[in-house]
Amino acid sequence: MPVTAVLDVGKTNVKLVIFAGARVLWQRSVPNAPLPGPPYPHADVELVWRFALEALREAAAACSVDALVVTTHGASAALVDDEGLVLPVMDYEFAGLDAMEPDYAPFRPPFAQTLSPPISGGLNYGKQVFYQETRHPQAFARARHLLMYPQYYAWRFTGIARNEVTSLGSHGDAWLPREGRPSSLVERRGWQRLLPPVVPAFSVIGPVKPEIAAATGLRPDVRVFAGAHDSNASILPHLLTIEPPFTVVSTGTWVVIMAVGASTDGLDPKRDSYSNVDVLGRPLPTAKFMGGREFAVILDGAPPQADAEDLAAVLAAGAMILPAFVPNGGPFEGRHGRIEGTLPDRPGARAAIATLYAALVTDFQLDVLGAARGPLPVEGSFAANPLYCAVLAALRPGQPVLLALDTAGTAFGASLLATWPQVPARPPLAEAAPLADAQALLRYRARWRAAVAGA
């Protein structure tokens, strides 16, 4: 097995993790946040780049790296010329994009073709590019390549421009998941000239540039892989080891629910269900909501720990959270979240109701996808929340909730691109025990769903 460095660029944190098989040899992280502009809120790519070079320098002094893989959050694209960015990489939460919807809407292809729902802000990356083209035409005209975010960093490491389908196919309006080609948006706007060749995520783009090797101490023959969208990276260990159907619940700032083996026929754009594209180019029915962000908003500074007794007190009190607490995405976009009723006087009550809310919306989105069969591997931050896992297990009887408890789950999935299709041995996933008083929970869910439907 090669020693693989994974640069994992998340919305709130950036990590560099070094793997030898499934074993983490070394890791570092740094907080990440967008810059306010001008010309618009945008990713701090230079923070990411400085961190990557410094961390690689430290890592190369500790171990001999063979391969480098980049994984990033979705809904981000980079316009570059031969020297670098011609415009900043837009923050997908840029609310100013909503005002241009009337201009953009005539170019948005039908959902039946792209399986990409209209979403607020810049979560449709096609709208970002349209904004850049129409609001900054001179800079846009200088662009030579339109690169998805993981491949932007791969380009900086290698000097070679490539794209790949997991990022192209992530709710951008610009890709046809069933046909594996650009949509009419790309054709009508003439963006084909900007799209470099599309290669599989597990393809080697090239070696690191000599100046990168010199700056970091990496060997000059270190192979840089195309890389992937982070949610698609998190699904890889399961895609290679679990027989479909199964549904991965990837959690962090976003809760992204990917139903392997499900049909795309019933996807509902009004519920933020759509199709991603997996590393083999196949449609992947997906639903999402900003669960980690909502959890933090609901906590409002309270301790994040809660137990079954805290939850029992919330259920008995009948206090209820109605969506939603962020403006972007999710099945209840446009609604304003609130707590109805009175929380019990317990230190863990707010964490308990925040956890309950996250599990209820996860359960709701699983039903939107028709993901009623097969196990539910849970990745990321909520996998380390025993109460969330116990509630989800009680809400989904017959679907084992499997816990991926390693903190580098997305990065580990990305590392598999360097060994594709081999998977190093890992301990089996633990199964979460369901909440003991499932009947009280199920009665509560019925009331919650009725309240959501009537809101």
- Contact criterion met (CB below 8 Å) for 276 and 233: no
How far, in Å, CA of 76 to CA of 69, rounded?
A: 17
Tell me how far apart the 2 most distant CA atoms of the chain are, in Å: 64
CA distances 444 to 2, 28, 31, 370, 410, Å, are 50, 42, 37, 21, 33
Could you say which DSSP state residue 110 is in?
A: P
Q: What pTM was estimated for this model as a whole?
A: 0.91
- Contact criterion met (CB below 8 Å) for 158 and 207: yes
| Share of the chain residues as helix, strand and coil, in percent rounded to the nearest 5 | 40, 20, 40
Count Cβ atoms below 10 Å from residue 183 Cβ, excluding itself: 23
How far, in Å, CA of 84 to CA of 274, rounded?
A: 32
Angle at 8 between CA 5 and CA 13, to 5 degrees: 135
CA distances 227 to 36, 153, 224, 401, 413, Å, are 27, 9, 8, 28, 11
Q: Which domains does the chain have, with CATH numbers?
A: 3-226 (3.30.420.40), 242-454 (3.30.420.40)
- Contact criterion met (CB below 8 Å) for 407 and 381: no
How far, in Å, CA of 316 to CA of 391, rounded?
A: 15
How far, in Å, CA of 80 to CA of 293, rounded?
A: 31
How far, in Å, CA of 274 to CA of 35, rounded?
A: 29
Three-state DSSP state, 430 = strand
Residue 69: closest CA among 196, 157, 147: 157
How far, in Å, CA of 286 to CA of 257, rounded?
A: 5
Three-state DSSP state, 174 = coil
Residue 324: closest CA among 337, 334, 307, 313: 337
Q: What is the pLDDT along the chain (455 residues), one digit of tens a residue?
A: 899 999 999 999 999 999 999 999 999 999 999 999 899 999 999 999 999 999 999 999 999 999 999 999 999 999 999 999 999 999 999 999 999 999 999 999 999 999 999 998 999 999 999 999 999 999 999 999 999 999 999 999 999 999 999 999 999 999 999 999 999 999 999 999 999 999 999 999 999 999 999 999 999 999 999 999 999 999 999 999 999 999 999 999 999 999 999 999 999 999 999 999 999 999 999 999 999 999 999 999 999 999 999 999 999 999 999 999 998 889 999 899 999 999 999 999 999 999 999 999 999 999 999 999 999 999 989 999 999 999 999 999 999 999 987 767 899 999 999 999 998 888 889 999 999 989 999 999 999 999 999 76
- Contact criterion met (CB below 8 Å) for 384 and 253: no
